[in-house]
Homo-oligomer: A and B are copies of this chain.
Amino acid sequence: TIRGARNAWQSLRLFSLVALVAALMGVAAWAFLTCLDAVTGFREAHLICFALLPAVGVFTAWLYRRYGKDAARGNNLVIDCTVSGRHIPPVMAPFTFVCSVATHLAGGSAGREGTAVQIGGTIADAVSRLFKLDEYDHQDLLMAGISAAFGGVFGTPLAGAFFGMEMCFVGKLQYRAGVYCLLASFVGDAVTTALGAPRESYDIGMVPQLVPSSLAFAVLAAVVFGIAARMFSGAIRVVKRFYAAHITNYVVAALVGAFVVLGTYVVFGLYDYGGLSSWLVEAGFTGTATPVDALLKLAMTALTLGAGFQGGEVTPIFGIGASLGGWLGAALGYSLGVTPAFGAALGMVGVFGSALNVPMTTILLGVDLFGGLAAPYFVIVSFVSYLVAGHRGVYPAQRIVTPKW
C-alpha cells in the first residue's frame, strides 16, 4: 500500500501532532468566539460602529496586499495547500483573526467558519513544517486542522470530523484521514467548550413521522434550499468579479465595496442584517422570518464578502436557511403536518451542505445540532439539495472528483 512504509511510531507521532493542533485550535476558536461576542455586543449597542466599514475594508485590503501573499484566497488556499502539499503563509491566521473581528465590529455581514478553518489550517501547516511531515501526513494533519476548527467554532464534533474529510473535494470523502479528523474535531470542541466559549442551541421541536406528506415537504424544501445555495455562492462570485473587472486600483475597489455595503445599510435601514444576525436563525425557528429576510441577508453577505471583507459564509447561510425553511414550514405546515422549527432545522443544514458541497457533513451536522430522530430527513435534504445546487459552491478551489450528474 501507498503508506506501507509508515510504521506504528509514525502513526503515533501523527496522532500526537493532531491532538496538539486540535488543542491549539480549540484555544484559538475560544478566543475568536469570545472576541466576536464582545464586538457584536458593542456594535449592537453603538450603531456608529457601521461607520468603520470603509476603514476596515481598506485596512483589510492593504494588509493582505502588502503582507498577505495569497492569503486573501482564504479557504481556497487552505484547500489548495491541503491537496497539493504546499505551505500556508503563517500570517494567514493572525490576519484573518484580526480582520474578521474587525468585519464584525463594523457590521459586515459574515460568518465564522472561514476564519476558523484558516486558523486551523495555518496551525496545522506550521506544525507540519516544524516536524517536516511527508506529503500524506501533511494532508492528514491539515484535514485534521480543518476538522478541529469546524468542531471547535460550531460545537459540532461529528460534523467537524466529516468537514475535514470532505471540504477539499466535490464528490469525495477522504476516508484515510478519518480517525485523525475525528480526534481533532472532538478535541477542538472539547477545548473550546471547556474554556467557556459562547454556544448557540436550537430546538427542532416535533419531528414528523415519515409519511408521504412530510417526505414531499422535505424534497420540495430541499429543492428550494439548493436553489438558495446556488444563488448565494453565485452572488458572492458576481460581486467579486464586478469589482475586479471595473476598478483597477485595489484601495479604491475596497473603498467602493465598503461604501456600497455601508450605503445599503443606511439607505434601506438594514442594520439588523449586519454581523452574524443570530436573530435571523431564531426568527426562522418561530416561523416569523420571510424569504425577504433570507434575500436581504444573502445580498448583504454577498456585498460584504464580495468586497473582500474577512469572515465566513456559514453563519449567514444558517440564517438564510432557517428563514427559508421556517417560512416554508409555516406556509405549508398545516397541510403537510410540519412545524416552522422543523422546516428551519432542515433549512439550516440544507443550504449549508449544498452551498459548501459537503453532503456527509450536512447529515452529521443535523445529528449534532438536532439529534438523530430527524436523521432520515437530513439524509434526504442533503442529497437532493446537493444535486440541485450544482458543482460550483462557495469554494471554487474544491477538486471535482465525482461530478454530480
Interface residues of A (CB under 8 A from B): 1-4, 6, 11, 157-158, 161, 171-176, 178-179, 182, 359-360, 364, 367, 371-373, 375-376, 379-380, 383-384, 386-387, 391, 402-405
Residue of B nearest to A162 (CB): B379
Q: Contact partner of A174 among B11, B364, B402, CB < 8 A?
A: B402
Show 27 residue pairs from A and B whose CB-CB distance is below 8 angstroms, ordered by the A residue: A1-B391, A1-B404, A1-B405, A11-B405, A158-B375, A158-B376, A161-B379, A171-B175, A171-B176, A172-B172, A172-B175, A175-B386, A175-B404, A176-B402, A176-B405, A178-B383, A178-B386, A178-B387, A179-B383, A179-B387, A182-B379, A360-B360, A364-B379, A371-B372, A371-B373, A372-B372, A375-B375
Q: Please, which residues of chain B bring their CB within 8 A of the CB of A402?
A: 174-176
Do B404 and A176 have beta carbons less than 8 Å apart?
A: yes
Q: Please, which residues of chain B bring their CB within 8 A of the CB of A161?
A: 379
In the complex, how many angstroms separate the beta carbon of A158 from the nearest chain B beta carbon?
6
**A1-B391, A175-B359, A178-B383 known; A6 vs B405 contact (CB < 8 Å):** yes
Residue of B nearest to A182 (CB): B383
**Apart from A1-B405, A3-B403, A157-B376: 15 A-B pairs, beta carbons within 8 A:** A2-B403, A161-B379, A171-B176, A172-B172, A175-B386, A175-B402, A175-B404, A176-B402, A176-B405, A178-B386, A178-B387, A182-B379, A182-B380, A364-B379, A367-B367
**A176-B405, A383-B179, A386-B178 known; A375 vs B372 contact (CB < 8 Å):** yes
Do B403 and A176 have beta carbons less than 8 Å apart?
A: yes
Q: Please, which residues of chain B bring their CB within 8 A of the CB of A375?
A: 158, 364, 367, 372, 375
A266 to B371, CA, bound (A): 49
